[in-house]
Structure 1
Amino acid sequence: MARRMLEYIKEQPEVWRKITDGRESLFQGAVEKLQQPAKRIVILGSGSSYIASMAAADLYEKMLGLEAAAVVPTRLDGLLRLLNPEETLLIAVSQSGKSTSTIDAVKKWKARGFRILAVTADEQSPVAKEGDIHQFIACGEETVGPKTKGMTATVLTLYFLGLALGRAWNLGDHGDSDRFLEELNQAIDAAPSNIEKSIEFCRNQADLLAVIPHVTILSEDAGYYAAQEGALKLLETLYIPAVAYEFEEYLHGVNNTIAPGMCHLYLPASEKNVERMAALDHYTREKGCINLIITVLDWEEGSHVLKLSGNQNPYLSIFETLPAFQVMSVFGSERRNIDCDKPKFPDFYGVLNTKA
């Protein structure tokens, strides 16, 4: 069980490398059609595509100084009334290109005169056909429901798309872009080893993954997006409640998750909170919590700590630490006798009309 999902997880470094090495030609077509600068970018998506959109919008603001927001398709009506089509680029993200809520939103915005850039892994999909411009997600086939390589390839595609638009629109600092690319290459090079470390770690933690009743995941900065996607993966595959909190938000009142037998997953993403997160780890373990740490930062050794290789750029957590959550999904679901290669409810999307 979950064999196919594990194969997709292991394919990720090669997918990222191909996108990175082929970025000049891969993004040239879309950028050439978007020479007119936008004042702002609105990115919409559902599920993993929404999390990828949030990570990209955050990066666009930080590196390009461009107003950007990520929104789920059903929450766009307020923005539709406020924004000017001449100043706004709408990016519609859907790996399959079949999300009905995304299709409906694109039609509505297009009718109001907004430029639509569709980002999908299927050029013949409904979302791709509705867009004015299409950007391909070069992730390859992914047939299982819990997305792994498709999600990370979507983030990488959106990152490179933003950097390419930044150059075309004369936004951001080229030196920052060069440093980001260097750090990204380091993350890609380290990924195969990190995945193998994650497999060994999760195999050793399989008995724990079989019995934990609930998972609380904490991270910070842009590492929060990896935590959100990690929570979604565990929820999709272990069939238990899993929720991600931004570190400071958790400290401000969600301490009722501290109880004997409860599982906390810490994802330290920047040096500024290492000591405080370590203090929380010690405090909650003293109270009986079962904690796991996944990080590329310096951390004390222990059987509950997965130390991965990487740099200290939180925007790369998607490529450095998220695969560990994906691997956790594989071993946890197998230990719980759940076949996450197959949908639990095959008729669900058809009955609820969420996929075209």
Structure 2
Amino acid sequence: MEYIYYIILSIVIILSFAIKNTNSKILLILLIVTLSLFSGLRNIDVGTDTLNYYNIINNIKNGVYSPNVEYGFIVYSKIILTIFDNPTYVFLITALIINSCIITRFYLSGSKKTFPIACIWYYTFLFPQSCNIMRQYLAAAIVFLFTIFLERKSYRIFIIAVLAATTIHLSAIISLLLIPINILFSRDFKRREKKKLAIVLLLAIPIIAIYVSFSVEHYKSYLLSSANNKIGVLNIIRLAIAFFYIITNQSNFTHIKHCGFCKVKNSNLVPITLCYVIGIVFTSFGYYFTTMARLGLLYMFFEPIFVSEVSTFSKNRNLYRILYSILYIMYFILNVGSGWSGLSNYSFI
């Protein structure tokens, strides 16, 4: 049933452009539900990790808890299983939360002109992973939605969201790096306040070091060497385009007017660009260490926003449209078309 993946892609394209033109909340919900039903009702042989999660959730249902699964995810699954008594609902509700967080974040990112590109890019490049690394995807999606509070300078709410997500998957803790990125590149904070932030970060280093030392054994698989030792041509292209943007828009990085997330009116993509580059770096590490790329998952969520913004508002937008069209076609041929997504041979449960 390979055609299902392409049917959903068509639906994403139609609904995202309809939302752009009508600003309809009903169509927005329909888009989220469509994606969620697609990933949430997948069969156990879809993707590479679904069967493993079915075993984990069934064990949780029977009171058997794996030491490699965070307590927050266990409690979360227990609540759903208590209500529905069926592992399928854990997958379905998780998919609904993931897609609600990510699509809503795109919707709140500024101009609706960028919404279709962001959604199409997300579905092609990032969505398939949600059917594999489900627990981490859930944690990252929650944090990604709450980055909207960085824009509003509600740092306490953002920190609470990160800590809650960390109970689902420990990797969410690296999302705290978004706070200094947002503060240090904003004129809304005076130099004295930025110095205070630097002091707080220095004091936090020993605490973070201790925390990580206790967690190394839990996540030692992230340091396993990969059989592949090449950075990957797609990541090289991604980095090249991002650095081209930085070089040709130096004024944005040297004379910062406003660096809140996704402020389209100021056409300033400084924090998004930095987050995106961090994501590419982590993804590239995955070619050397088996699962290191997963640490950059949250930061890669900024890729659809970056791509859509520079393709819509950049002074060189026509060039970016060509470059990202080439990248999209290459990705489609090399990964999606070859079945890498794990969804090309899709079947419902």
- Point out which structure has higher relative CO (alpha carbons under 8 A, 6+ apart): 2
In the superposition, the TM-score normalised over structure 2's length comes to 0.28
Q: Which has the higher helix share?
A: 2
